[in-house]
Amino acid sequence: MFKIIVFVSGRGSNFKAIYSQIEAGIIKAEILGVVSNNKSCKAIDFAKEKKIKTYLLGDKSQGNEFWDFDQLAKIFQKENIDLIVLAGFLKKISEAFVNKFKQKIINIHPALLPSFGGKGMYGSHVHKAVFEAACKVSGATIHFVDEVYDNGIIIAQEAVDISDVASPEEIAEKVLKIEHNLLPKVVKKFVENKIIIIKNRVIVI
């Protein structure tokens, strides 16, 4: 079975979107674990409710329940993890970890990269910047993760018309709907081996 790990920091609605398609048999994969830097977030509560193994990201000096990137990498390599999905994960992934899972880590970003990405560009900050720039479209981007924030090659994007919005919150709402559709779709493509990289471009077949 295709093995997935999901990294989360908050609400977990994208994680739930993947989970529900696995549960429905649409995505033939299993989520082996959920990693979070945030002990008390909705995403972790959901993982526990579904009896998925959870890992708290931190340092062993903080307690035995914490795991750092090196320890997690060892576990995930041993388990032969196929795909790591950052679904609303706010911490930077260590360079060593990224190098161990080359082209196996993907992230969802709530804007059309390469605009409105980079350090500090997360959650409501993104939608506020898009609103202030008076953009007429926004959207979601799924990209491979490298050692630089929001920089890896783009796998998939979907745009949404935001010409009629009156607030950043309205943009967030529109984009989130797209995310919940796009992320499971891309995960399914990975499971079905339909993601091909040719000369630094990703072809989704």
Which C-beta is closer to ligand GRF: that of 3 or that of 11? 11
What are the φ and ψ backbone dihedral angles of 152, each rounded to 5 degrees?
-65, 165
- Distance (Å, whole) CA 105 – CA 118: 17
Q: Is 87 in the site for ligand GRF (CB under 6 A)?
A: yes
Q: Is 110 in the site for ligand GRF (CB under 6 A)?
A: yes
Q: Quick check: 127 and 169 in contact, CB under 8 A?
A: yes
Which C-beta is closer to ligand GRF: that of 29 or that of 142? 142
Q: Quick check: 14 and 44 in contact, CB under 8 A?
A: no
Q: Is 117 in the site for ligand GRF (CB under 6 A)?
A: no
- Candidates 11-19, 55-63, 74-82, 97-105 — which segment interacts with ligand GRF by CB under 6 A? 11-19
Residue given tokens 């999905």 in the structure block: 85
Residues in 32-71 that interact with ligand GRF by CB under 6 A: 43
- Active-site residue flag, 180: no
Q: Is 123 in the site for ligand GRF (CB under 6 A)?
A: yes
Among residues 109, 127, 143, 180, the one annotated as catalytic is 109
Cα dihedral sign, 31-156-69-79: positive
180, amino acid identity: H
Residues in the interface with ligand GRF (CB under 6 A) total: 15
Shortest Å, Cβ 13 to ligand GRF: 3
Residue given tokens 């399914």 in the structure block: 188
With CB atoms as reference, the residue minimizing the distance to ligand GRF is 88
Residue selected from 109, 174, 188, 189 as contacting ligand GRF according to rule CB under 6 A: 109
Which C-beta is closer to ligand GRF: that of 79 or that of 173? 173
Give the closest residue to 157 by CA, choosing from 115, 111, 205. Answer: 111
- Distance (Å, whole) CA 184 – CA 187: 5
| DSSP code for 171 | H
- Distance (Å, whole) CA 72 – CA 56: 10
Shortest Å, Cβ 154 to ligand GRF: 14
Catalytic residues: 109
Q: Which residues bind to ligand GRF, rule: CB under 6 A?
A: 10-15, 43, 87-88, 108-110, 123, 176, 179
